[in-house]
Structure 1
Amino acid sequence: MSKILLVEARLHLRDGASLLFTIALPLMLLVFLGRAAGPAFPALMVMLSVLTLSFTVLPTVLATYRHQGVLRRMSTTPVSPLRVLAVQLLINLVVAVVSTGLLMAFGPGLPRNLPGFLLVFVLGTAALMAMGLVIAALAPNGKAAPTIGSAVMFPLMFVSGMWVPREYLPEVVRVIGDYSVAGPFARALGDTWVGQAPHLPHLLVLAVGLVVSGALAVRVFRWE
């Protein structure tokens, strides 16, 4: 397991594009726009990093491995494909944590409700990565995976209020956002960042999203 983790980590570090969009871009946006964008803006940058990892980076790697037969070949060795899946989830989680840590270090400081923020971060990240696993299962190859992922990610960014403040969105869009996983994730991150407690309905949507997406990913995921 440790050898697989080391190899996959090195491959991830060589992917400059993914590091740019998951770590550097949110940090640069925070540094240049943070003060003008409001106190909860760092939370939106955390979400941007998690969304990018969940809907482009993770699905692309796994879909590529499946299309190239890597997972099938591993199934005939003591190194099971399940370990590769676990390693990819762990690496992307570590990247999300590193990105969040840098946003805290170079931003206005720690979330005012740190325990609540950590709860929301773990639950929301798990739910979004489970959705990413579904995309990885449905994508025919590694080239199609980021296209499919982006087609899901950008509407989620819109309905969650990342592009336009939620109060300016039409009522139907706000309702969709309330049940989109991304919407409650964004609002709960923002609430805890400014010191509020996460609202129970937001946590419930994240939990349901994790269970449903996780179950669907297990059902449809293909090793070859």
Structure 2
Amino acid sequence: MSTLSRITVQEGKLFLREPSMVAFAVVFPTALLLVLGAVPALREPSEDFGGVRFVEVFAPSALILGVGVLALQHVPAIVANYRERGILRRISTTPVHPGLLLVAQLVVALLAAVASAVILILSAWLVLDVSPPQHPVGFAAAFLVGFAAVIAIGMVIAAWAPTPQLATGLSTLAYMVAMFAGGVFVPRFLLPEPLVRVGEYVPPGVQALLDAWSDAPAGVAGDPGVASAGPPELLHLGIMAAIAVALGSAAAKLFRWE
């Protein structure tokens, strides 16, 4: 087993020892969707959502809630904690490069996000009769690019925040802004048109996930008159990928080991 694999396994075990984080990041998105799906009115087609059901529209948003917790709250706090306790500095004196610890954190967060997505998709399909993503390749691309963009924001915070407390404060602010702008907290058809348009091209990429998940009318995202959704637009994915690269590079330059 390689050094990175061993570190990743260890970080994974530490993650699983945090029941609150596992609950909120992996289990809570599915639980929330199922609770809302228990309301009969939310399982019926609605004109407000372009003739589809609320549970179909909300499923990608529920998934993003867990991704946001992992990328914008868990990872920055863990890295800042390791820095404050001198763990990063001590590792830098060994043959093991401390960058491997950061990579392991990203891998664990990604695996947890994938687990959350699988649980949510299967539960929505089996319990609420919400069809799995109609464009699986596009959905996977949107999910990975969106995750990369959001985790890049988290890594910028992790790169600079000297204490876990400051990292938590900044991460919470970033989480609230990203979830609101992305239409996760408030249905996008209720948001101002400029904010809807901006939210289509920036993290967390809810619109790209929705496009790939179903062929629902695009009006559910605040764009009445467009016939139907399909695979996510390359422009959406390209801009989020550019954001991920730009912020990831900035985090690498700003990163402090101690």
1:127-181 deviation line (CA, Å, top 9, x unaligned): 1111110010121211221221010111111111112222221234334434432
2:250 pairs, out of 201, 216, 224, with: 216
What is the aligned-residue identity percentage? 36
Contact between 1:21 and 1:52, CA under 8 Å: does it hold in 2?
yes
Aligned to 2:219: none
Deviation at 1:38, TM superposition (A): 3.2
Q: Partner letter of residue 32 of structure 1?
A: V
Contact between 2:200 and 2:206, CA under 8 Å: does it hold in 1?
no
2:149 pairs, out of 114, 117, 127, with: 127
Deviation at 1:32, TM superposition (A): 1.4
Structure 1 segments, 4+ long, off by >3 Å, are none
Matched, 1:56 2:73: yes
Q: Which has the larger radius of gyration?
A: 2
Contact between 2:80 and 2:164, CA under 8 Å: does it hold in 1?
yes
1:27-106 paired onto structure 2 within 5 Å: 27-34=30-37, 36=42, 37-106=54-123
After TM superposition, the score normalised by the length of structure 1 is 0.93
After TM superposition, the score normalised by the length of structure 2 is 0.82
The alignment yields a C-alpha RMSD, in angstroms, of 1.5
Q: 1:106 to 1:178 in 2, by over 3 A?
A: closer
1:185-209 deviation line (CA, Å, top 9, x unaligned): 1000011110421012211221111
Matched, 1:169 2:191: yes
Aligned to 1:202: 236
2:212 pairs, out of 146, 168, 192, with: 192
What are the ranges of 5 or more consecutive residues in structure 2 without an aligned counterpart?
A: 43-53, 126-130, 216-229
| Bigger helix share | 1
Deviation at 1:12, TM superposition (A): 0.6
Q: Partner letter of residue 148 of structure 1?
A: L
Contact between 1:111 and 1:117, CA under 8 Å: does it hold in 2?
yes
Q: 1:214 to 1:93 in 2, by over 3 A?
A: same
Separation in 1, partners of 2:10, 2:171:
25
For this pair of structures, how many residues does the alignment match? 222
Deviation at 1:126, TM superposition (A): 1.0
